[in-house]
Chain A
């Protein structure tokens, strides 16, 4: 496959890209490929044979196997798929193998182009403990904490139990290989330590195959602010401003925005510079995100995500820079072509993550078929989704179904647009957090921009239940009766349900 015209001066031109991912991010990347005249290749499993991704890609490669390790996490099978389909580059997306140094290494060694940073950078930053050491060495401020060197379960217990009280409770246990809220445990009292260590280790072992954990002081009432970085490998490193991702439940982000209402120009420049320093410390290349906790005017390094980030669209809206396009440019060996002074932020963008979960039972995951799916449309509304009506959400994968991203000239108009977009979203067949997201955007602290990472937990410790007035229930009941009587289009979804068209339906069909 020939490289497109825009790559003609590139050091490492390529024309065909395998996307080592699934769902919404794979669709996002496939569309970027098409825009850039690159030919996208999808990998898929038997679960995903009806996924819309397959229509977006020029080639589809079937991965045999039942488990994730046999399919989306199978390095050999994916590289083999690239070889067989003639792909010259691999984009890992986020999640799965995107932060696997081993995968990056294997891709490079097999002569393919890796759309991402070097395996070394991934390894240092991917291991949260070595990342902390690196940041300490270049003077990036860290959350007070302690890294345990030993890998012996008994030693970890001993060391954390001794060190914990010195840092002061509450503490947060984190998986060294962690991310996405997995393998994290809050410890409020010394007595909870042993049980929490065990649970965090087990979760870390199950999610990452690496049970090492470390401890940080749990700072509460803070904001989660992250800096988007682009680096071209020729020494040009710029930042695209911040994203505020304070609204989280179970340490997973729910709503993100850009810019943050908490940052002024001076703080933005300081945090941007710290982000650039963090990236420079590992000779970073590509798109990456440096996450900080912001406590008043003080900020502390949390971790660096060496990949595309779920919430990247809010930065794209506000800066006008397509981050996936930049990833491909950098991978081809072209220089950035954007200087820091060219980056400006205009307007306001918000992202809502639609999760398959039940807010009323403490945001526990749900699953089920997407019997009806209608995503919102309109000016300033972007939907990143990897599913269509008729697909199912199952518990093997991440519970995120789709993202809605809006743009407005200011924060207030972005919130109004998002509230309407959420009300306009129809997703039936399983529990989701859509109504909760709407309620969150009506909360007075959220409206004021006074969000913290524990806002959701503090306001709704047991989860959130919608209040529905009785007239709405009555109208809902009537709608059920109407659909049943007049033969609503849903009935073909019901298996074992041999329904003939209702004869009364015909009475409505009067043509002029």
Chain B
């Protein structure tokens, strides 16, 4: 299986079961072999038990569409399935995404307008908290993809800018 972690590194793991022994056949990080001490594992109804050098680690994994959520040793990791189309969405530097799910309160610029670095472009709200979206650089507003009162998801591209 190929997955991508939150640092955008690619992991490839293949497992095998021989005579009831669960083994890891191969693990690579960005196509290079990754060395890990010998691991044994088993799975309970909801949890995965990994034993590494006598130390037992319990992991919880859930999959939501293309995203894997992993809880391991008090830490939460997310991985994306490498063949998901999601990561293929073209994101340029000037595409400003919604940093949180919420509602657009105010759009403060127009298409074609010249803007300066740090200028407030729009205001959104979630859980009654206001959040300002500001320009990361000076440039021109190319496209506005949202309207006042529109509800948007996290990651929605709100405004597209072009650097001068």
Contact = CB atoms under 8 A, between A and B. Distances in A.
A in complex with B: yes
Interface of A: 181-182, 199, 202-203, 206-207, 250, 358, 361-362, 364-369, 371-372, 374, 395, 397-399, 422-424, 426-429, 432, 434-435, 438, 466, 468, 470-491, 493-495, 504, 507-508, 510
A253 B128 CA distance: 16
Prevailing SS type, chain B contact patch: strand
A507 B20 contact: yes
Contacts of A438: 74
- Of residues B11, B61, B130, B154, which shows the largest number of chain A Cβ atoms within 10 Å of its Cβ? B61
A145 to B, nearest CB: 23
A194 to B, nearest CB: 13
Given A374-B60, A428-B62, A488 B48 contact: yes
Question: Nearest 4 pairs between A and B by C-beta?
Answer: A423-B74, A428-B69, A479-B59, A483-B61
Contact of A493 (B41, B59, B62, B77): B62
B61 A435 contact: no
A485 B15 contact: yes
B68 A471 contact: no
A418 B101 CA distance: 30
A424 B58 CA distance: 10
Contacts of B14: 481
Contacts of B102: 365, 395
B138 to A, nearest CB: 20
Q: How large is the interface on B (under 10, 10 to 19, 20 to 34, 35 or more residues)?
A: 35 or more
Interface of B: 1, 3, 5, 7, 9, 11, 13-15, 17, 20, 22, 24, 27, 29, 34, 36, 39, 41-43, 45-46, 48, 50, 52, 57, 59-65, 68-77, 79, 99-103, 105, 125-131, 154
B72 A479 contact: yes
A345 B82 CA distance: 55
13 contacts: A206-B125, A371-B62, A371-B69, A395-B102, A395-B103, A426-B60, A427-B76, A478-B24, A483-B43, A485-B1, A486-B22, A487-B43, A507-B20
Contacts of B22: 482, 486
A480 B36 contact: no
B127 A365 contact: yes
A365 B129 contact: yes
A508 B20 contact: yes
A477 B11 contact: yes
A182 B74 contact: no
A493 B63 CA distance: 8
B27 A477 contact: yes
Contacts of B125: 206
A182 B129 contact: yes
B36 A435 contact: no
B101 A428 contact: no
A422 B59 contact: no
A372 B13 contact: no
Contacts of B52: 475
A471 B77 CA distance: 12
B3 to A, nearest CB: 6
Contacts of A364: 99-100, 126, 131
Contacts of A361: 99-100
Given A477-B5, A488-B63, 11 more contacts: A199-B130, A365-B129, A371-B62, A372-B71, A434-B76, A438-B74, A472-B77, A479-B59, A483-B48, A485-B1, A490-B62
